[in-house]
Amino acid sequence: MTIGKGGILGAVLLTLVLLFAPFASGLAQQAPPANDAALIEQLKGPLAGRVSIPDAKSGLLIQPQGRDWRQTLEGPVKAGGGWLLILSVVAIALFMAIRGRIKVDSGLSGRTIERFNGIERFAHWLTAVCFIVLGLSGLNLSFGKSLILPLIGPEAFTGLSTFGKLAHNYLSFPFVFGVLLMAVLWIRHNIFTGVDMQWFRQGGGLFSRGVHPPAGKFNGGQKVIFWLVVLGAIVLAVSGYILMFPFYFTDMAGMQLSLIVHAIAGMVMVAVILGHIYIGSIGMEGAFDAMGTGQVDVNWAREHHSLWVKEQSRAGGED
């Protein structure tokens, strides 16, 4: 038996009618839109059909909120984050130019005191190394296409971004572990007290030479950094794991919100940590040793953490 041309055409037409019937019936109930604007207005709500597979969300054909979400992400979130990072770098550069390197006013004594033991330094550097890779690969996800792609071309950018995305996913685990370890080790030293208020009133002595407000193991500014790191890491981890396991914990709207929260928290943390890295390295004489060898000069410790030195001397920790 042979099927004629008419038979084939008929079968194709029937298939097309069956495929588009649900959409046609949906739209047929309303008057056809007069122009594009009217069509968009008509499609304000989601355009969804029905599917017989378990993944019910794949029946969602158009989700207009997605358009608003992309505009928010590409507009205010990226622009705000970009300006925040530029502001942070400019503020550090200005501080560096005006204040210069913060010196040990009484000079180095040559005697040292243990500031951080091996576990504390391990927790810090694990967190720091992971954060730097997470921060750079995250910024590449947000800004790489417009800033790095034109510089290195599509092939290198594809390699870089593929590697960056893998690193971003896997390093999140040791990062969270590092922050938890730091939180356990240091939480008791980071409760705010009246001493910190005095530290804040005197600007931490950061803006005037020879001023050294008293401080315990951590001063008021460091406590702020500590809490921003701990709370920021919680926000990043929760929103990040929601994104890493799509639709496992939440629906489409939850995924969209998580990405915006993750992007904002990441950029705020990078902006804050830039200042921390400056003060902990070139910005303050003698500070890096605390996380390098773990030993700091006694005069540095007396100027920046006088109450802690007194405690340590009572406990016999000074060399």
287 touches ligand HEM by CB under 6 A: yes
Residue among 24 and 197 whose Cβ is closer to ligand HEM: 197
222 touches ligand HEM by CB under 6 A: yes
Q: Are 284 and 102 in contact (CB under 8 A)?
A: yes
Binding window for ligand HEM (CB under 6 A); candidates: 27-35, 61-69, 165-173, 223-231 = 223-231
Q: Which residues contact 19 (CB under 8 A, 6 or more apart)?
A: none
Please identify which residue in the block is written with the tokens 């995250």. Answer: 138
Binding window for ligand HEM (CB under 6 A); candidates: 21-29, 123-131, 144-152, 248-256 = 123-131
Please identify which residue in the block is written with the tokens 């770098």. Answer: 89
Q: Which residues contact 161 (CB under 8 A, 6 or more apart)?
A: 140, 141, 144
Please identify which residue in the block is written with the tokens 């069956």. Answer: 18
Query: Which residue in the set 123, 225, 263, 268 belongs to the binding site for ligand HEM (CB under 6 A)?
Result: 225
240 touches ligand HEM by CB under 6 A: no
| Contact set for ligand HEM, span 180-219 (CB under 6 A) | 182, 218
Residue 220 burial (CB < 10 Å; 0-12/13-18/19+)? buried
Which helix H or strand E contains 297, and what residues bound it? strand 295-297
Query: Which residue in the set 91, 226, 259, 318 belongs to the binding site for ligand HEM (CB under 6 A)?
Result: 226
Q: For residue 142, how far is the Cα from the chain centroid? A: 11
Binding window for ligand HEM (CB under 6 A); candidates: 75-83, 126-134, 141-149, 153-161 = 126-134
> Three-state DSSP class for 230?
helix
290 touches ligand HEM by CB under 6 A: yes
In eight-state DSSP terms, residue 50 is -
For ligand HEM, the binding residues (CB under 6 A) are 115, 124, 127-128, 131-132, 182, 218, 222, 225-226, 229, 273, 276-277, 280-281, 287-288, 290-291
